[in-house]
Structure 1
Amino acid sequence: MITFKCYLDGKEITDQNLIRALNQNEISVFESLRLYNGTVFRFNEHLKRFAESARSCGIDLPAIPVLIAAVQKALKAHGGADGFIRITFHAEKIFVMIGERKHNPAIYKTGVDLKTSSFRMPSPGETDVQAKTGNYRLQLLAGKPEGAYEWLFLDESHFVTEARVGNFFMVKKGSILTPPAVSVLNGITREVVIECARDLGLFVRETPLTRHEAFNADEAFLTNTSWEILPVRSLDGRLIQAPVPGPITLKLINCFHRKVNITCRPPKKVSEIRKSNARSSPSRIKKD
C-alpha cells in the first residue's frame, strides 16, 4: 500500500478528498455552457455531449438528474443571471465553475486575426476529437499566437480543422462551408449556427477546406460557447474580402441571438405579471 502526504506552502493538507483527487491518474471530462437570463442555453444538448465524452473515455458519469442538480445548486449559490459555466467530472467528483469570460466588444466589429499553427491536429484514429477532456496538450504546446488572436490548426493532410477552442466557418459565393465534424469537435454553437443557416434558407456544406480556400473566403468566423459567433478579419496576413462582419455572418449572429432570446426569456417581474393578468382577465360589468 502506498500512502502520501501532500503539502502546500510547506503546510500539510489534511483534506483526504483533495489528496485523492490530486493523486488520481485519471482523465477529466468537462463541458462549457452559457447562462442567459437565469437559463442555461441548450442545456440538454450540452449534457448529452458531456455523457458521450465520458463514455468515450470509459468514465462512469453520474446520472443526468444528478448533473442537473449539481449545476442548479451551484447557480443558486452563485446567484447571477448571466455567465459562463464549466462543469467538470474528475476523480468521481462534480465540479461546477461559474463566472464571466468577457471579450472586448470591438472584436465583433473589427474581426480577429488568425495564424496557421505549425502543430498538426491528430487524426480521428489517434485521438477522439469529439470527447471534451482536460487533455489540451496540443493547444498548450501551440501557446498564444504572437500578433494574432487565435491559431488555426491543420490536420496531417494540411486541411483546415479548428481553432484552439472553437470551430471555423467560411462563406464563399453565398454558401457556408465548415470542416466535417469527423475531424473537429462538433461544438454546440456550431450546431446552432448550422441550424440558423438552414432556418435562413442558406446552403451549408461540411467539407474539407484548404488554406487556399480560406485565404479566398468572402467571410469567415469562429464559434464557441463563449464567443458565440466571432468574425474573422484575416488569416496569415491575408485580409478577408468582404466587410467585417460580412452580411451572412450578421444574419447568423442575429438568428443566434433570436434563438437565445426565445429559449432564455428573462423572468417577468411581479408588476408585469399582474398587468398581463389584468389584460387577459374578463372585463367586469358594473352594476347600477
Structure 2
Amino acid sequence: MSPERTAERRIWVDGKLVPWQQATLHVLSQSAQRGSLVFDVMHCYWSPEGAAILGLREHSERFLNSASLSSMSLGIDLEGLLSAIRETVRANPGAQIVKLSAYYPGVSLDVLPSDHTASIAIAAFAISDILSGAKPGKLGPARLQVADPRKMPPWVLSPQAKLAAGYLYTAVAKQHARAQGFDDVLLLDERGDIAESSTQSFFLVENDTLYTAPLDYVLAGITRRLLLELAADERIMAKEESVAAERLRSAQEAFMAGTTINVWPVAEIDGHALLAPVPGPITERLMARLARVIAREDPDFSPRWMQEV
C-alpha cells in the first residue's frame, strides 16, 4: 500500500469522513479477535456521465441482510446506507472498489461484543492504491484446484452471511492451491456437489446448458444474479441445481463470476483441461453482454444495474 496514493483518500466511519490513516481498529476489539466483521464489496465505474456502481442497491441490501443474519445491530437503514456510500464515492474520485464493513470496535475478552451497536466503515479506493504495481489488464484463463475442505454447511453458518470468519478456511485452501501453481480453489458442499470458489460464484456448461449451484449452499452473488438474467435474455438455458463433482470432466465450459473479476473463464480443474477454446462460446457471449451493461450500452439492463452515484 502506498501512503502517497492514499493520502487524499477519506473513509466514512459512523457518519464522518476521516483520513485513510485514521480509520483504525484496536487489536483487542471483538471483531479483530473473533472474526465477526460483516462486509460487502462493490465495483464502481466512471464515465463522462459520472460514477455508477453495478448493483449498488442489491449489494447494500445484502450487506444489511448479512448483519441481520449475524444478529448485528447497525443503527442505519437502506436509504441511509445508500446516502453514505454516495457521499464516500464522491469524496474519493477515481475509486474502483467500494468496501462496506460493520464491526464491533470495543475491547472484549468474551466471544460476545461489549458494543450494543456495530460501527460501519465505507472505503472507496482504486486498486492501485493498495496493490503497488497493479495494472489493469485481462486475466488469463484460470486453473482451479478442488479443495480438500468442504463448504461450511448452512446450519453452521448461512452462506448468505458475508462474515469475515466464514472465509478463513477458504483463504487457507486458496493459499495451498496457489503454492501448487493454481489460481483459486473450487469448493464442494458436504454432499460432494459443486459449490463455489473462494470468493466467486461458479458456473459450468454441459450440453449447451448453463449450471450453477442453488442458494442452499452458496452466496447469492450479485454478479451471479445478473448473469442468470442475461442468460435468460440471451435464450441460454440456465439451471440452478446441484451438480456432482464427477460432471466436471464432461463440462464444455466453466467460469467464475464476482464483483472484482466480472467473468473469469476456467481452463483447467485439478489438472483436467477443459475443451478449447477458452473462453467457450457461451462464456464469451455472457462476457460480451456484461461488458455492454457495464459500459452503459445495454438499453435493457444498464439503466437498472448501473446505478448512479
Say yes or no: TM over 0.5. yes
Q: Partner residue of 2:77?
A: 63
How far apart are residue 26 of structure 1 and its match? Answer: 7.2
1:171–1:220 CA contact under 8 A, matched in 2: yes
79, 93, 96: which one aligns with 2:122: 96
Equivalent AA in structure 1 for residue 212 of structure 2: T
| Rounded Cα–Cα distance in structure 2 between residues aligned with 1:265 and 1:42 | 7
Classify 1:79/1:219 alpha carbon distance in 2 versus 1 (closer, same or farther; 3 Å).
same
State the number of aligned residues: 249
Q: Distance in 1 between matches of 2:275 and 2:26?
A: 54
- The residue number in structure 2 matching 1:124 is 154
Q: Does 1:165 align with 2:178?
A: no
Runs of 4+ in 1 over 3 A off after TM superposition: 17-21, 23-26, 100-106, 263-267
Measured in 1, the distance between the counterparts of 2:80 and 2:308 equals: 26
1:134 has 2:164 as partner: yes
Partner-residue secondary structure (3-state), 1:183: coil
Q: Quick one: which of 29, 33, 36 aligns to 1:22? A: 29
Return the alpha-carbon distance in structure 1 between the equivalents of residues 209 and 189 of structure 2.
23
1:1-288 matches, cutoff 5 A = 18-19=25-26, 22-23=29-30, 27-37=36-46, 38-61=51-74, 62-80=76-94, 82-91=95-104, 92-101=118-127, 105-107=137-139, 110-135=140-165, 136-144=167-175, 145=177, 146-262=180-296, 263=302, 264=306
CA distance in 1, matches of 2:28, 2:102: 11
Unaligned runs of 5+ in 1: 1-14, 268-288
SS of the counterpart of 1:242? coil
Distance 2:249 2:214 in 1: 19
CA-CA distance at 1:156 after TM superposition? 1.6
User: Aligned AA for 1:229?
Assistant: V
The letter of the residue matching 1:84 is: I
Cα deviation for residue 266 of structure 1 reads: 9.5
Q: Secondary structure in 2 aligned to 1:205? A: strand
> Where do 5+ consecutive residues of structure 2 fail to align?
1-21, 105-117, 128-133, 297-301
**In structure 2, what is the Cα distance between the partners aligned to 1:252 and 1:23?**
42
Paired residues of 1:121 and 1:156 also in contact (CA < 8 A): yes
Partners of 2:44 and 2:288 in 1: CA distance: 18
TM-fit CA distance, 1:19: 4.3
Contact 1:70 1:94 in 2 (8 A): no
TM-score, structure 2 length as denominator?
A: 0.75
How far 1:66 sits from its partner (Å)? 2.2
- Distance (whole Å) between structure 2 residues aligned to residue 98 and residue 235 of structure 1: 34
8 Å CA contact 1:198–1:204 kept in 2: the answer is: yes
On the 8 A contact 1:170/1:217 being kept in 2, the answer is yes
- 1:52 corresponds to which letter in structure 2? N
CA deviation profile, 1:223-279 (whole Å, cap 9, x unmatched):
000000100001011111131011110110111122223334999xxxxxxxxxxxx
The one-letter amino acid of 2:45's match is Y
Query: Aligned equivalents of 1:200 and 1:187: distance in 2?
Result: 20
- The whole-number CA distance in structure 1 between the counterparts of 2:43 and 2:209 is 28
Which has the larger Rg?
A: 1
TM-score under structure 1 normalisation?
Answer: 0.80
Cα 1:173–1:90, aligned 2, differ >3 Å: closer, same or farther? Answer: same
Three-state SS of the structure 2 residue aligned to 1:182 is: coil
CA shift for structure 1 position 114: 0.3
